[in-house]
Amino acid sequence: MAKTVSLVLGCVGARGFAHIGAIEELLKRGYKINAISGSSMGAAVGGIYAAGKLTEFKEWAEKLTKMETFRLVDFTFTSQGFIRGEKIFTVLKEIIGERRIEDFDIPFTAVATDINKQEEVWLDKGELFSVIRASCAIPTLLTPKKLGNRLLIDGGVLNPLPVEPVLRTKSDLLVVVNINASVPSQAKIIKQEPVTTESDAYMDKMVISMKKWLNIKPTVEGNDETLGYFGLLNKSYDLMQDRMCLMSIIHHKPDYVVNISRDSSSVYEFYRAKDMIEEGRIACIRALENKEVYSD
């Protein structure tokens, strides 16, 4: 009889590719995933797996380069965020197709946040990529998504490790993948392909544009931004989510905690999918073999 798992996938950003490695390792060891819940990138990977398209998604993600990643970014520079996110989801729809969550064989719930009502929202019905887009709307980065009468942003704002929505049977093991853990990185860094001159120039242009828009100035210590706008935002967001994940783990007492180092990747390094998939695989092996719990 297969060992069954209720799987919870945390947020946020590019570190979420680690969920692919964790899922693959669970399946390799004979676990059957009975239900999934996720926030932000956890919702994206979990939803795509529940749709039966994880292999296609992985193959696409592993081919992403810096240049291709930036070409998928549709800048808007509005007061609600500076990325629309339509390009990337259009590409994913072409790869995976239009899918509705209620048609999945595996129960799946994505978590988002209603910014106006200031409440957590569980999304277990509807068009997959509209739901994922809402759950992934990182404040100030990706513009909010309107679904019905709700204006939705990243589920990680209120629940970065959403255990509560996952449907469980008495026999299910509860496995959570926490991608904001204060632990050392496990995987060896895979050498990236050289960045082309074209890519360097494009990235430099985008960085200059963002700095002008955000009015970022050098710090008094020198000419470099030792902790600029995004650095400060990321560190603050990581710290907040780290504490919230810890409290969720302490409260729910999962059977296994797969800890992904918050230092393994920044939120924006989507071109490092191979690194993060390997990070997730190694962290999952460690968790299953050592029955790892949260460590601070």
DSSP one-letter string for 150-209: EEEEEGGGT-SS--TT----TTPEEEEEEEEESS---SPPPPPPPPPHHHHHHHHHHHHH
Question: What kind and span of H or E run contains 73?
Answer: none
Distance CA 123, CA 111 (A): 6
Separation in Å, CA 268 to CA 44, 66, 134, 244: 15, 10, 18, 21
For tokens 């994505």, the residue is 110
Enzyme catalytic residues: 40, 154
For tokens 């529940």, the residue is 50
Task: Give the DSSP letter of residue 102.
Answer: G
Beta-sheet pairing, 140-142 with 145-147: unpaired
Distance CA 210, CA 102 (A): 39
For tokens 């494009």, the residue is 202
DSSP one-letter string for 212-248: HHHT----TTSSS-TT-HHHHHHHHHHHHHHHHHHHH
Separation in Å, CA 180 to CA 149, 237, 239: 31, 10, 8
